[in-house]
Chains A and B, each alone.
Chain A
């Protein structure tokens, strides 16, 4: 068991794709940032020196040894808030990408595998959603249904998946005529089994790439929405977009507040973009995203 795991790691490490990835410096930077972000999100309680919602110091204290990034307008430690906000936002981003995958991948599989009418109906919807103003839709839904993080994740979830469906469908079309799929069909395997066991694994590489890149996009969108409509998360929870929004009015006097929050968003997004770009160059250079 252990030996086979080591063997797998060694084989993967030596594969051409991994070699390509290893030579890519930006990809390493991305991987480092993403690892740090994930680490912060998991161990937020241990890393953050203070409670993110407790008042722990004077208001608007400048950065010091006691408060690494200073305190906000009611005296909460900005560094601790950012660490906890990273956890919340990363969770939201993952939920959103998960939703896109859960909708897009099956639809892409079905469209590509069965072809014909089903395919053209699904692809019509995909084309339509490509020309759909997501962000405006999410603002509208938040205004109509009342703002909550759940509302925006669901609203963005139902309209943001076409990229996933299109990539999977393209792979399915390429794999469908391979001999092993034909033979599986000849052996009387069920369509569902063929799709899951023979076709889907072939779409994994581009899927991993677009999931990584979409995570960057979803973080930008989520923070944009919570920036615009910060009610609901405003006072209680630490969330990057709403924290940025709160800091905006005070920017004139306390520039480090807005700057540190904004830079956090930029660095995280940059990390996922670098990693995604590196993965794409290594796994599927012809994928355009």
Chain B
């Protein structure tokens, strides 16, 4: 019961958090240089048209009015100005009236594509990449850490410990680039997503998971060493349990607590790292969309603040949920934890 209430309370934090964050980012958008009306009207538009767009879309209104419009779609565009729009542009101005994010409309990008639609297409890709990276990290990290702890002082331990140290210092984008280089020189192709989707996602997930693998391996090694010296391990052995059961059921389960703590600390890194690797491998995920929306790539030379804002909020929700999941896992492994 306590658990349920804890989860609900944590979920209830999300909406106010998103409102505060989105208002802050909205303020930043407002402060930023550049004229959104000009961008919306297009490059060929003359001054009159830009002014029309500004009024029709309420871009001349104060920031909180614009924010409300983005949030709940009210107040909508001024009908008077829409009537004044010359016939040939009218369809453009009236074809889309924002309903507000709370009513499920995330808005449109400058290219008039539905943001909700692009997030819906890209979210599964990002999730696939991050979950795969986490699975690789947890599986490899636990394995390396346990082996290193059990074979303490041998060459295996030495290799895995040094490997982990290097893994912690390798930026994931550097690993990704090197993997590309290796694939290129051995197999003769660049593993971009457009041509080799499976290979690119696997490589990207390995590169993304390397840092986490290293830190999980390190943590597993030290906490396994600590746990395996405890009295209850000796008791388990005396009871005649197989060594495997001793290591997995009694050793690992107790060693998991600090490992999960480390994992929780790294969740915020995961999505940022995923963005970088999506960009390198050309994987069409949310991170890549965000980077493209900053306007640095030749394909989309204009910054698109509303897309960035929406994507950031989605990333925020994902981070909070991932943390919550890790906390639940933590409580599952460590029954001593109580939730007030």
Which residues of A are interface residues toward B (Cβ below 8 A)?
A: 26, 128, 130-147, 216, 220, 223-224, 227-231, 244, 248, 251-252, 255, 258-259, 262, 265-266, 269-270, 273-274, 277, 288
The interface bits of chain B over 260-292 (1 if a CB of A lies within 8 angstroms of the residue's CB, else 0) are: 000011011101110110011000000100110
A228 contacts which chain B residues (CB < 8 A)? 275-276, 279, 291, 296
Kindly state the separation between the CA atoms of A255 and B185 in the bound complex, as whole angstroms. 10
Kindly state the separation between the CA atoms of A244 and B305 in the bound complex, as whole angstroms. 27
Are the C-beta atoms of A144 and B308 separated by less than 8 Å?
yes
Are the C-beta atoms of A133 and B271 separated by less than 8 Å?
yes
Are the C-beta atoms of B290 and A143 separated by less than 8 Å?
yes
Are the C-beta atoms of A227 and B305 separated by less than 8 Å?
no
B308 contacts which chain A residues (CB < 8 A)? 139-140, 143-144
A146 contacts which chain B residues (CB < 8 A)? 32-34, 303
Tell me if B110 is interfacial: C-beta within 8 Å of chain A: no
A138, A251, A266, A277: the one contacting B174 at CB < 8 Å is A266
In angstroms, how far is the closest chain A Cβ from the Cβ of B150? Answer: 22
> What is the chain B residue whose CB lies nearest that of A252?
B184
Q: By the criterion of a CB under 8 Å from any partner CB, how many residues of chain B are at the interface?
A: 55
Kindly state the separation between the CA atoms of A137 and B269 in the bound complex, as whole angstroms. 11
B31, B166, B294: the one contacting A142 at CB < 8 Å is B294
**Considering residues B171, B309, B319, which has the most beta carbons from chain A within 10 angstroms of its beta carbon?**
B171
Are the C-beta atoms of A130 and B268 separated by less than 8 Å?
yes
Besides A135-B273, A144-B29, A146-B33, 20 other A-B contacts (C-beta < 8 A): A131-B268, A132-B319, A134-B272, A136-B275, A136-B290, A140-B290, A216-B169, A227-B276, A231-B296, A244-B173, A248-B280, A251-B181, A252-B190, A255-B181, A258-B177, A258-B181, A259-B181, A262-B174, A270-B169, A288-B258
Are the C-beta atoms of B294 and A273 separated by less than 8 Å?
no
> What is the chain A residue whose CB lies nearest that of B31?
A145
In angstroms, how far is the closest chain A Cβ from the Cβ of B298? Answer: 11
Are the C-beta atoms of A144 and B276 separated by less than 8 Å?
no
> What is the chain B residue whose CB lies nearest that of A137?
B312
A132, A139, A216, A255: the one contacting B294 at CB < 8 Å is A139
Tell me if B168 is interfacial: C-beta within 8 Å of chain A: yes
A128, A136, A251, A273: the one contacting B271 at CB < 8 Å is A136
B166 contacts which chain A residues (CB < 8 A)? 270
> What is the chain B residue whose CB lies nearest that of A227?
B173
Are the C-beta atoms of A144 and B269 separated by less than 8 Å?
no
Given contacts A135-B273, A258-B181, contact A147 B294 (CB under 8 A): yes
Main secondary structure of the interface of B (DSSP, over half): helix
Kindly state the separation between the CA atoms of A258 and B173 in the bound complex, as whole angstroms. 12
What are 21 of the A-B contact pairs (CB < 8 Å)?
A130-B264, A131-B320, A132-B316, A133-B269, A135-B275, A136-B271, A137-B312, A139-B272, A144-B29, A144-B308, A145-B28, A146-B33, A216-B169, A220-B171, A223-B171, A224-B171, A224-B272, A244-B174, A248-B177, A259-B178, A266-B171
Kindly state the separation between the CA atoms of A223 and B274 in the bound complex, as whole angstroms. 15
**Considering residues A140, A147, A230, A266, which has the most beta carbons from chain B within 10 angstroms of its beta carbon?**
A140
Tell me if B42 is interfacial: C-beta within 8 Å of chain A: no
Interface residues of B in 296-314 (CB under 8 A from A): 296, 303-305, 308-309, 311-312
Kindly state the separation between the CA atoms of A26 and B162 in the bound complex, as whole angstroms. 10
In angstroms, how far is the closest chain A Cβ from the Cβ of B107? Answer: 15
A145 contacts which chain B residues (CB < 8 A)? 28, 31-32
Kindly state the separation between the CA atoms of A132 and B18 in the bound complex, as whole angstroms. 12
In angstroms, how far is the closest chain A Cβ from the Cβ of B36? Answer: 12
Tell me if B165 is interfacial: C-beta within 8 Å of chain A: yes
Kindly state the separation between the CA atoms of A262 and B258 in the bound complex, as whole angstroms. 32
Are the C-beta atoms of B272 and A133 separated by less than 8 Å?
yes
**Considering residues B28, B31, B177, B276, which has the most beta carbons from chain A within 10 angstroms of its beta carbon?**
B177
> What is the chain B residue whose CB lies nearest that of A26?
B165
In angstroms, how far is the closest chain B Cβ from the Cβ of A191? Answer: 30
Given contacts A145-B28, A146-B33, contact A133 B171 (CB under 8 A): no
Interface residues of B in 9-29 (CB under 8 A from A): 17, 25, 28-29
Are the C-beta atoms of A244 and B177 separated by less than 8 Å?
yes
In angstroms, how far is the closest chain B Cβ from the Cβ of A122? Answer: 17
Kindly state the separation between the CA atoms of A216 and B168 in the bound complex, as whole angstroms. 10
Given contacts A244-B177, A251-B184, A252-B184, contact A224 B28 (CB under 8 A): no
> What is the chain A residue whose CB lies nearest that of B318?
A133
Given contacts A140-B312, A229-B294, contact A131 B29 (CB under 8 A): no
In angstroms, how far is the closest chain B Cβ from the Cβ of A279? Answer: 15
Kindly state the separation between the CA atoms of A288 and B264 in the bound complex, as whole angstroms. 14
B295 contacts which chain A residues (CB < 8 A)? 143
B312 contacts which chain A residues (CB < 8 A)? 136-137, 140
